[in-house]
Amino acid sequence: MAEDLNNDLCWPSPAKLNLFLHINGQNDQGYHLLQSLFQIVNYGDSLAFDICAENTIEMAIPLAGVPDKDNLIIRAAKILQQATGTTLGCKITLNKVLPMGGGIGGGSSNAATTLVALNHLWGTGLSTQKLAELGLQLGADVPIFVHGKTAFAEGVGEIITPTELPINYYLIVYPNCHVSTAEVFSANNLPRKTAKISWADYNFDNTHNDCQKLVCDRYPKVAKILRHLLEYAPSRMTGTGACLFAVFDNLDNAEKVKTTLPDDCYAFIAKGANTSPLHEYLHDVMSR
């Protein structure tokens, strides 16, 4: 079952899909220049924040295998703390349902939710744009989640054009293998010269994911699930993988295809959201 992102006790941290991912080159610092369409969905993790007067920041339960110095949640809270000079702290509880290393933005979304939630709970009053600038220090996908809109993104993720898409259902499948983003982007045979497209010219069929072939060649489980999904619906890998998605215009068809998947993968169905559940929640909280 999907995590309830409207729970009054928690702040939503939704997943995203890269409906396409084109790599257009690299900048002088070596960062990849991308074009992508980020579709936020109504499924994801959630976080709760216990605010304290001391300026300590800690997880209620440490994230297994992730030291605090690498934990994007802790890092986001500390960046906001340092940027605003607040003397407040917090204890953070993460309810994790999104697979790590899946390419659906779990860690980036967690960081963005931390920035947005603590900016409200600490009363630090930064603008969304300033929060996005702080988020970019943590990862290229963080600003998308901070802005909270399905969006066309360019550059290293900082050039964002909010947009609206028809509401579809997405069958999202994690093949139970971890794909390293660093490994993908450092591969010599990764395509890096895809011509830029205009957002006005976008449609699903004239785009692709530049990382998909490389990942499928290296991870047979990813390739196998993708072939299976393509028998039923338009399908693609999201981000650098390992998650794959198939697009449906109705829930029933998505549920039928879900029953055909192998038992050794994790799958869920999510609905596209033009406005992030995080921002809907923030609006509700501020309206009380």
Helix, strand, coil share of the chain (percent; to 5): 35, 30, 40
In 3D, which of 160, 104, 101, 162 has the Cα closest to residue 133?
A: 160
Pick the catalytic residue: 16, 45, 149, 210? 16
Q: Which of 45, 50, 130, 141 is catalytic?
A: 141
271: annotated active-site residue: no
Closest by alpha carbon to 98, among 108, 87, 84, 88?
A: 108
Query: What tokens does 121 get?
Result: 């709970």
Give the separation between CA 77 and CA 119, rounded to whole angstroms: 9
258 tagged catalytic? no
What is the identity of the amino acid at 59?
Answer: M
Question: Cis ω on the peptide bond leading into residue 242 (within 30° of 0)?
Answer: yes
Assign residue 148 a region: left if phi > 0, alpha if psi is -120 to 50, beta otherwise? left
Alpha-carbon span 108 to 112, nearest angstrom: 6
Catalytic residues: 16, 141
